[in-house]
Amino acid sequence: MKKNLNNMNKYLLLAALAWTALFPQGCSKQVAPDPPRSRSRLTLELFEALQAGDHKTALAKVERLRSIDKTNLFLAQLQNIETDNVVIKEAGEALKKYEPQKAVKILDKAIKLHGQRDSLLDAKKQIISLMELNSCIKELKNPSNALSMAKAAVTLKKMGESDKSLKVFDGFIKDSIERAYTLEKSENERAFFSLASDIKACSENGNWAAPYMLAELALESPSNPLVEEYTAFLRKQGKSPLFTKLIIE
């Protein structure tokens, strides 16, 4: 997960922190002197925490500096950044434990508390995309049925169109689509066989449901032998012991 401070030049940051330490911002010229070590020491500790990626410590130092200089805009912005970084790191820890739902909840809570900041929204979007990616790959590896497999392949393909890093799945997607067609054909054959068995059972008992079931089978599989047999029977072109118990007007 990218850090919000990656694009900030560390030398400019150091300069800004030094400026903050030496020249506190404020309207009043009558500012009570700080304790000797407070500002400079806190500024140094803050920079060290930022360099180490210790966002919790950095946030604590920023909050302490802000209590000394409440009107400093740079510190206010840095406090927001580090607050978000603490939340994002916590969400990242949840991801490492394979708990993406927990990570999303952490971000949702922070968004509700701090507002819809871009860094929090982007982190949530990335996690949701990872969840969707994981779901698609799981479905393609172990499909529940042809339709869900095809949907997963299409979803993964669309994700790859907006995220070039997912192009590595192009071959996998193509293969999955072909497998989905094969699986659909197999599913249909099993369904037709089951329907034909039910039709035979109904026909042998003279059940009126048989013609309607045959009509359904004819729509789905016109060349099915049972459909052809029944069609010939209706046209008086063939004899069928199977359908003789059905009363045809």
Burial of 225: CB neighbours in 10 Å, binned 0-12, 13-18, 19+: exposed
H, E, C per residue of the chain? CCCCCCCCCHHHHHHHHHHHHHCCCCCCCCCCCCCCCHHHHHHHHHHHHHHHCCHHHHHHHHHHHHHHCCCCHHHHHHHHHHHHHHHHHHHHHHHHCCCHHHHHHHHHHHHHHHCCCHHHHHHHHHHHHHHHHHHHHHHHHCCCCHHHHHHHHHHHHHHHHHCHHHHHHHHHHHHHHHHHHHHHHHHHHHHHHHHHHHHHHHHHCCCCHHHHHHHHHHHHCCCCHHHHHHHHHHCCCCCCCCCCCCCCC
pLDDT of 66 higher than 60 = yes
- Give the pLDDT of residue 6: 45
At residue 240, does pLDDT exceed 80?
no
Asked if pLDDT for residue 7 goes beyond 50, the answer is: no
The least confident of 25-29, 48-52, 186-190 is 25-29
Q: What are phi and psi of 142, to 5 degrees?
A: -135, 75
> pLDDT band at residue 164, thresholds of 50, 70 and 90?
confident
Mean pLDDT value across residues 158-181:
90
What ranges do the domains of the chain cover?
1-22+36-136
| Mean pLDDT to the nearest integer, 36-57 | 84
224, two tokens: 């099915």
pTM of the model: 0.64
% of the chain with per-residue pLDDT over 70: 75
